[in-house]
Structure 1
Amino acid sequence: MTNADRLPAPLLKRKAVVYVRQSTQAQVQVNLESKRRQYELVDEAKRRGFRDIEVIDDDLGRSASGAVARPGFERLVALLCAGEVGAVLCLDASRLARNGRDWHHLLELCGLVEARVLDLDGVYDPCRPNDRLLLGMKGSISEFELNVLRTRMLDAARAKAQRGELRISVPIGYLWHREVGLGLDPNQRLQEVIRLIFSRFRELGSARQTFMSLRSEQVHFPRPTDRSSLTHFDWTPIRYRNVISVIRNPFYAGAYAYGKSGNKTTIVDGRAHKSYKHPKPFEQWEVLLKGHHQGYIDWEEFERNQQRLAANAYGKAGDVKSGRGGRALLAGLLGCARCGRRLSVAYTGRTPQPVYRCYRFDLPPKCMSFGGSRIDAAIAKEVMRVVEPMAIEAALQAEQMRMDTLNE
C-alpha cells in the first residue's frame, strides 16, 4: 500500500460500507463468482485498516438504471448523510449506479463528509478535482455501457423476430418444438377447447354469448401451473378472459406477432418509473408475419372476428349499437339533440318502466329525461306497419343481408 492509498486515521474510525448488487435474479442465482468477489471486499476493507465494516446487499436482483427502487442504496445514502461512513467499497462503478442522477448524488455526499470511494483500482477522494473527474468519467462510462448493452440486445432480438425465429412466449395451444419451430400443442384436449371457442363465436357472433354458452355447458379451460414451459395445466371453469384472449390473439390465425405492447415512463417522487405491457394499435406492431405457422383459423376469419368484436363494443362512438337487456326497445339507439350524448336507460316505479335520460355521473348535469313506454309503443307500431305487408319475406331478407355483411 502506497502513501497515496493510505487513509487518514479519523476516517478509519468510521464505518466502511461494502455495497453488493447484481442486476437480476438470474445473475444472483447463476453469476456466483461476481457475487463472491463483491463479498470479498470485506477483506479489502480490513486490509485498509477498517474495523467497523457493514455489508449492504439489499439490492441483489435490482437494476441500477434508476427505474426501480433500491432500498440498499437509500440506506447507504442515509449513512453518508449521518456522517458515519469513512469509505464506500464496490467492485466497480456500475455496482453503485448506472445513471448519472444516483452516481453524482453519491459523489456529492461523499465529498461533503470527506468519505472515500474504493474499488479494485484504488482509492478516490471526491474532494480532489482529479479524483472527482475520474469518478465522473467512470460513472458516465457505466451509464453508457448499460445503454449499449440494452441497445445491442434489443436490436438482436428484433432482427431475430423479423425472421420469426425469436422464441417468445406463445399462447396456450402452441409449443416451440426443437426441430420444427412453432407448432400446435399435441394435447388434443387443448386443441379441442380452442377450436370450440372459435366455432361457437362463429355461430353466435358475440364473445360474451360465447362465454355464456360454454359456461352453461360446464366447459373447462387450462390454466398453466408452470409459466416457464406451459407443460402443466389445471383445468378450471372457463372465464370470459379466456374467450376474449383466444379470439383476439393473432397467433391462433397462424401469424407471428412481436412488439404488440410498449412501455411508458412516468416521474414518481423525482424518479423514473416504467410500466410495461401497454397495448399498441394494430398498425404499430413491430413484426407481423402471416402464415408463419399452422393456425386454428385463417387470417381472413381473424379479421372478421376483430370487426365483430369492434361492432359489439357498447357505447363506442361510430359503432353499431345493440340492446343490453331490459324492456326498453331503443336502448343505445337514441342521442340527445342538445349535447349529442347517447341517452342512457333507467327503470323506475313499483312496476319498473323505462326512462330515457341524458345523464352521466362524470359529466355536467343531464339535459333531458322522458318516459320510454309511449315512444317504445309508437316505434313498435310503426315498425310493424312497415313490415306487415311482407313481414316474412322482409325478415328473411334482413337476416340474409346481415349474414352477408358479416362474411364479407
Structure 2
Amino acid sequence: MANRVEARVIDLDGMYDPCRPNDRLLLGMKGSISEFELNVLRMRMLDAARAKAQRGELRISVPIGYLWHRDVGLGLDPNQRLQEVIRLIFARFRERGSARRAFLALLAEQVHFPRPTDGRTLTHFDWTLIRYRNVISVLKNPFYAGAYAYGKSGKQTSIVNGRAHRTYKHRKPFHEWEVLLKEHHEGYIDWSEFERNQKLLAANAYGKAGDTKSGRGGRALLAGLLGCAHCGRRLSVAYTGRTPRPVYRCYRFDMPPKCMSFGGSRIDAAIGRELMRVVEPMAIEAALQAEQMHMDTLNEQRQIIELELQQAQYEATLAERRYAACDPDNRLIAAQLEKNWEAALRRAQACQARLETTRTPAESISIPDFTTLAQDLDAAWNAPGVTMRMRQQLVRALIVDIITDVDETTREVVLTIHWQGGQHSQLRIRKPKTGEHGCSTSDEALAVIGSMAGRWSDQDIAASLNRMGVRTGQNKTWTAHRVSSIRRVRGIDAYRSAQKNGQWLTMSEAAKLLGVTHYMIRRLINDRVLPAEQVMPDAPWQIRASDLRSDAVTAALTRKHRPCRSNVEGQLPMFIEVSEGGA
C-alpha cells in the first residue's frame, strides 16, 4: 500500500522509501526483530508469573470466601456469615452424599448464598437463595481445601472451515495442572476430604465399575450397591408387574447376555434384617449420637439465621443513617432512602421471626425420641415417616459393597457383604421358582391350619391366627372364608361337627354341660383343676368329657361363694363362730 501511494516510513533511525528494495529489506528485518522481541518479553512475563505462582505468591482471582490480605496474603473472608454458609455446604454434602440432595436440604432450610455485585473485587454481595451451581462450584474448587491451584484450564485448537480456531478455558485433570500447592492457606476442609468428595461426585455422575452411587430413593433398597461376581459391573434395577416390584439384573446393551437376574423384595428384606441384627448391640449408643447430630443440625440452622439477622440489622441501621444524613428538602432522594430503610426493616423482622421459630418449635413438630426407637429397631426401620432414601443412606453408612452371585444348584442368591471397617459376612436367600410370587401363605399359618382343621371350625382357626398375629400372604387378617380357601387349595380336611364322638369338648360345650359360666371353666383350667389341652398357644382349649366328672372338679363346683383355703394344722382362727341362740 505504501509502495502504491509512494509514502515514506519514518522512525528514530531515519526515513525509508518502500519503493526501494534495500529500504523494504531493512523494514522487514526490523519488523521481524521487533516481533521476536515482543515474543521474548511475553515469554519472560509468563515465566515470571508461573514462577511466582509456583511460590504461591501470584495474586490470582480467588473464590467467594477468600480475600488477598496486604500483609498475610491469601486468607479467609472476615465475614462470619459467609464462612458459616460455606461450611454448611460441606456439612450437608458430608451427611447426604450427593450434591443435589445437599442442595435440596439447604434450599429447604432457606439458606442464602452471596452473589457478587461488583465484578471481581468480591467486596459487595447480594444474598439470594442458594442455587445448585453455588453448591457444585464450592464442592469442586480446590481452594476451599487449602490448596493453591494455577493453570487449571488450557486452550484447544481445532480446524474450522480450513482455519485454525482456538478456544480457551478448557478444564484439565488434576495431574495436568501447572501448579498445585497443598496446605498453602487455611481451608474449610482438608485435602483428603476434598479427594473423597471428588470421587463421590464422579461416582454419582457416571456410575463406573467399582463405584457406588449415593442413595436416590425409589423402591429398591440396594440400588447401585450390588456388584456382579462374574463381570464386576453394578447390577441395574428394573420394575416389573402391575404393581411395580424391583428386579436386580446384570444386563447391558453393549455386552453379552445377562449374568443374573432375581427379584429384589426378598433380598431387601434379608439385608434389612441383617442390618438390624448388626446394629442392635450398639443401638443405644447410635441413638444418642443421632440425637446429638439432630441437635447440632438445629444449632447450625439457628447460627446461620442469627448471622443473617445481624447483617439485616446492620443494613437497617445503615439505611437509617443514610436517611438521617439526607437533606429533607430533597424529596426525590429522601423518598428513595426511606423506601430502602423500610425494606431493610422488613428483612430484619423476617429474620427475627425465623429465629423465634427455631428457638420455640411448633407443637406439631415433635422431636423424635431416639432412645425409644433404639429399643424397637424394627418399628423404627418400618416407620411410615422413614423414606427409602433414608434407609439407603443408613445402608451405605454401614456397608461398603455387596458382591452378588446365584448358585443354580441350590437355587440360592449368595450375597457377600463388605462392611465398613473390613469385616465380611455372607447371606444365602432362596431364589423363587419361575412363576412363584411373594404373596404365598407362610409356613407358620399352614402349620396352624393343618393342626387345628380336624377339631376346630374355620371360624375358630381364623380367630386363633388373628390372636397369634399371623397374617395372610397379602398381609390381611384371617376370616373363615380365607381359611376355607386355603384348605381347599392345600387339600386339608375340613372340620365336621358330625364326626365328633363326644370324647372332646370345647370350653363352651363344657360350660353348658356343667351349667356354669365360661369364666368358671377358664378358672378351673388356670388353677390346674380341670385338665385341658391346646393344639398350640392361643388356640382354643380342648377338654376331655370324662375329666368333667372327676372328684376335683366336683369339689370345686360345690364350693360356691367361698374362697378356696387350705387347712393348716395349729393355725388359730381369726374369727370365732357364734351360734344363732347367742351366749
1:267 deviates by 3.1
Asked if structure 2 preserves the Cα contact closer than 8 Å seen for 1:116 and 1:123, the reply is no
Is 1:231 the equivalent of 2:123?
A: yes
Match of 1:161 among 21, 44, 53: 53
AA in 2 matched with 1:229: T
Aligned to 2:101: 209
Unaligned runs of 5+ in 1: 1-86, 89-109
Match of 1:185 among 68, 71, 77: 77
> What SS is found at the alignment partner of 2:211?
coil
Q: Which has the larger radius of gyration?
A: 2
Aligned counterparts, 1:4-403, within 5 A: 87=1, 114=4, 119-121=9-11, 122-125=15-18, 129-328=21-220, 331-332=223-224, 375-377=263-265, 379-380=267-268, 383=271, 387=274, 390=277, 392-393=279-280, 399-400=397-398
Q: Deviations over 1:355-385 (max 9, x none)?
A: 879567xxx7x9779998x622354466468
Asked if structure 1 preserves the Cα contact closer than 8 Å seen for 2:209 and 2:232, the reply is no
Report the TM-score, using the length of structure 1 for normalisation: 0.57
Provide the rounded CA distance (Å) in 1 between the counterparts of 2:80 and 2:72. Answer: 19
Change in 2 beyond 3 A, CA 1:375/1:345: closer
Provide the rounded CA distance (Å) in 2 between the counterparts of 1:384 and 1:393. Answer: 12
1:190 deviates by 1.0
Provide the rounded CA distance (Å) in 1 between the counterparts of 2:239 and 2:33. Answer: 67
Report the TM-score, using the length of structure 2 for normalisation: 0.42
> What SS is found at the alignment partner of 1:175?
strand
1:180 deviates by 2.1
Provide the rounded CA distance (Å) in 1 between the counterparts of 2:78 and 2:161. Answer: 50
Q: Deviations over 1:161-206 (max 9, x none)?
A: 1222111101111111222221211122211111211222233332
Provide the rounded CA distance (Å) in 2 between the counterparts of 1:293 and 1:207. Answer: 25
Provide the rounded CA distance (Å) in 1 between the counterparts of 2:269 and 2:232. Answer: 26
Asked if structure 1 preserves the Cα contact closer than 8 Å seen for 2:113 and 2:128, the reply is yes
Aligned to 2:338: none
The higher-RCO structure (CA 8 Å, 6+ apart) is: 1
What is the root-mean-square deviation of aligned Cα atoms in Å?
4.1
Change in 2 beyond 3 A, CA 1:388/1:196: closer
> What SS is found at the alignment partner of 1:264?
strand
Asked if structure 2 preserves the Cα contact closer than 8 Å seen for 1:313 and 1:319, the reply is no
Provide the rounded CA distance (Å) in 1 between the counterparts of 2:75 and 2:234. Answer: 46
Q: Deviations over 1:223-254 (max 9, x none)?
A: 11112311111111111221122122222222
Identical amino acids, percent of aligned pairs: 69
Change in 2 beyond 3 A, CA 1:142/1:347: farther
Change in 2 beyond 3 A, CA 1:381/1:253: closer
> What SS is found at the alignment partner of 1:144?
helix
- Report how many aligned residue pairs link the two structures: 289
Change in 2 beyond 3 A, CA 1:369/1:404: closer
> What SS is found at the alignment partner of 1:234?
strand
Provide the rounded CA distance (Å) in 1 between the counterparts of 2:238 and 2:275. Answer: 31
Q: Higher strand share goes to which structure?
A: 1
